[in-house]
Amino acid sequence: MDHLPSTEAAVTALRVIAEEYALDIEVTHDIGADQTSRRTAVGFGVTTDRGGSLPHEAYVELGGRPSVSVQLYPDGDALITVDGLACPDVDRDDVPAFLRALYEGHAWVKTRRFPPSASLMVPLPGDRVHKEYISFALSPWLSGRVR
């Protein structure tokens, strides 16, 4: 996927994914320094981003299984929540690949008997894997991905 330079470009990519996988999509936009939940790339009291644009954040909910929401931040990263599991600090450019891995069945849950633990493993381009520790009981969808 091409570099997603803006929140709007990322939302457009998510709409394409929703259409590809026949998922309902609901998008909420927050535009302006007083509306966004966080901005770490600029100083205190600064109301515009580099280049003079207003900061733009979006919250996206996708229908279907697993339950997925995506919070796109103006700083170029995202928080993806999968069946209640928060996956923070996902680069905005990796969001489409992350979701495709989920919907195409490439993501898996890695478990260990001792000490007992589980992690969601999501393959990304460039032979990278996003690993997220699971600290709660597995949902039916997550349980179905155990390897």
Beta bridge partners of 109: 120, 146
The pairs formed by 136-141 with CB atoms below 8 angstroms and a separation of 24 or more are 136/84, 136/85, 138/109, 139/66, 139/83, 139/84, 141/65, 141/66, 141/67, 141/83
Tell me which DSSP letter residue 54 carries: P
**In this structure, what DSSP letter does residue 115 have?**
T
pLDDT tens per residue across span 64-120:
999 999 999 888 899 999 999 999 999 999 999 999 999 999 999 999 988 889 999
Mean pLDDT of 10-17: 95
Sequence spans of domains, the chain? 7-143
Residue type, 9: A
Q: Distance between CA 101 and CA 12 in Å, rounded? A: 18
- Predicted pLDDT of residue 79: 96
